[in-house]
Amino acid sequence: MRGLFLAFMLLPMMPAASEKDKAAQVDALFAGYTGNVPGASLIVLQEGRVLLKKSYGMANLEEKRPVTPKTNFRLASVTKQFTAACILLLAERGKLSLDDALTKFFPDFPAYGREIKVRHLLNHTSGLPAYEDLMPDGTQAVVDEDVLAILKRTNTPYFPTGSQFRYSNSGYALLALIVEKTSGQPFSSFLRQNIFQPLGMRATHLNLAGQYDESRRAYGYSRRGQNWERTDQSRTSYVLGDGGIYSSVEDLRRWDAALYTARLVRDASLEQAMSPTVIARPLGEDRSATAAEEEIGYGFGWFVGKYRGLRVVWHGGSSLGFKTHILRIPEKRLTVVILTNRNEGQVAALARNVADSYLFQRQ
């Protein structure tokens, strides 16, 4: 797959096609998501306009309920940009500093926490051990507070803080708890009052009991031979800060628009979030999909790089039964959001191919 993708990358390009041709190209890319299979939802935005909004396949196979633009998918690690935005909001309000040590918030954390600053959590240079690897056999579903308890039993980080990049779900679970400590509110309430409600993201929510609207929720699936099996939750699915948001392309349209303004956080904070503070190594499929980029960095909740000579900011998400991706090309004011409810698919590559359909045309 990687070789095919890179070959596609090298094809000569021509000026953009007609809107009808672009939509047809996108439909061809998503052919495997149509019919009675786990589906996908897609939106392409430019200058605040919706260029394309399409949905494919099923949100619920058992009930044969199709995906729509209002269907909520688990965002997985795309959640991290929202967690980072909460921290930046609190920093602007003087509630915390990005240079505050971890032990300021959790005084009984092991001694190495004195070296870990908030900014190290944001850009994955903390060296915190991965909580997933430390969960004892037989552990049931864990939440963010359990992650903290697990980490308190560790003695050393993976590496000296600030010396390396290592993608860390542990860091973002702790960031959600820092939001709670400094705001005096549950993480879910802070998100709702400071991001979701102001932007009109009315159906976006965290993975908490009582917040689901079953009529618009996609369930996750994994392929088992020729069949699809519902695999909607895992024992880490209820950790919120690293991947617990459910949202739709309709609501993420509002989020994307806010990122071009100072409506939520100041321009300087947005610039910091989307500037590479460290050289990064994407995980899994995202690594192959960005192979043509000369250098990839990480800001606060965003990867940063170049694609076809254009600056891009992006993030992917992958959890049991879901794969998601948001790709932004600020110079062209173009954004592609893809949400899927299956455990497979080259979603990062799909996002770039969709962007190509709107910026270029294959000969």
Q: Residue 26 belongs to a domain with what CATH number?
A: 3.40.710.10
Q: How is the chain split among helix, strand and coil, in percent rounded to 5? A: 35, 20, 40
Enumerate long-range contacts of 144-153, CB under 8 Å, 24 or more apart.
Answer: 144/173, 144/174, 144/176, 144/177, 144/187, 144/239, 144/240, 144/241, 145/177, 146/239, 147/173, 147/174, 147/239, 148/106, 148/173, 148/174, 148/177, 151/109, 151/110, 152/106, 152/108, 152/109, 152/110
Q: What is the mean pLDDT of the chain?
A: 91
Closest CA to 348 of 322, 309, 317: 317
Contact of 280 with 303, CB cutoff 8 Å: yes
CA atoms within 13 A on the CB side of 140: 0
Buried b (16+ CB within 10 A) or exposed e, 270-308: bebbbebbbebebeebbebbbeebeebbbbbbbbbbebe
Phi, psi dihedral angles at 174 (to 5 degrees): -70, -35
Q: Would residue 224 count as lying in a domain?
A: yes
Residue-wise pLDDT for 187-231, tens only, equals 999 999 999 999 999 999 999 876 667 789 999 999 999 999 999
Least confident among 8-12, 103-107, 288-292? 8-12
pLDDT at site 8: 35
Q: Would residue 89 count as lying in a domain?
A: no
Domain extent for 55:
2-71+203-231+247-362
Those residues whose C-beta lies under 8 Å from the C-beta of residue 317, and which sit 6 or more positions away, are 74, 75, 76, 77, 78, 79, 243, 323, 324, 325
Number of domains in the chain: 1
Query: What is the spatial distance between Cα 353 and Cα 351, in angstroms, rounded to a whole number?
Result: 5
pTM as predicted: 0.92
Q: Would residue 358 count as lying in a domain?
A: yes
Residue-wise pLDDT for 281-329, tens only, equals 776 666 555 555 557 999 999 999 999 889 999 999 999 999 999 999 9
Q: Would residue 114 count as lying in a domain?
A: no
Q: Would residue 347 count as lying in a domain?
A: yes
Q: Which residue has better confidence, 162 or 7?
A: 162
Work out the angle between the directed axes of helices 169-183 and 80-92 (0-180°, nearest 10): 40
Extract the tokens encoding 97. Answer: 């500093």
Render 254-279 in DSSP notation, one character per residue: HHHHHTTSSSSS-HHHHHHHTS-SEE
Strands (DSSP E) contained in the chain are 13-14, 40-46, 49-56, 58-60, 65-66, 73-74, 205-206, 221-224, 227-230, 245-247, 278-279, 297-298, 303-307, 310-319, 322-329, 334-340, 361-362
End-to-end alpha-carbon separation of the chain, Å?
Answer: 21
Residue pointed to by tokens 């973002």? 172
- Hey, is 338 helix, strand or coil? strand
pLDDT at site 95: 98
Type of residue at 193: Q
- Hey, is 190 helix, strand or coil? helix
Q: pLDDT at residue 41 above 90?
A: yes
Closest CA to 327 of 338, 335, 317: 335
Q: pLDDT at residue 363 above 50?
A: no
- Hey, is 196 helix, strand or coil? helix
pLDDT at site 286: 64
Residue-wise pLDDT for 143-163, tens only, equals 999 999 999 999 999 999 999
Those residues whose C-beta lies under 8 Å from the C-beta of residue 3, and which sit 6 or more positions away, are none
Mean pLDDT of 243-254: 97
pLDDT at site 7: 36
Query: What is the spatial distance between Cα 24 and Cα 328, in angstroms, rounded to a whole number?
Result: 22
Specify the DSSP class assigned to residue 192: I
Query: What is the spatial distance between Cα 191 and Cα 156, in angstroms, rounded to a whole number?
Result: 32
Q: pLDDT at residue 112 above 70?
A: yes
Extract the tokens encoding 224. Answer: 């088992």
pLDDT at site 20: 85
Query: What is the spatial distance between Cα 247 and Cα 327, in angstroms, rounded to a whole number?
Result: 16
Q: Would residue 88 count as lying in a domain?
A: no
The pLDDT-based confidence of 25 (bands split at 50, 70, 90) is very high
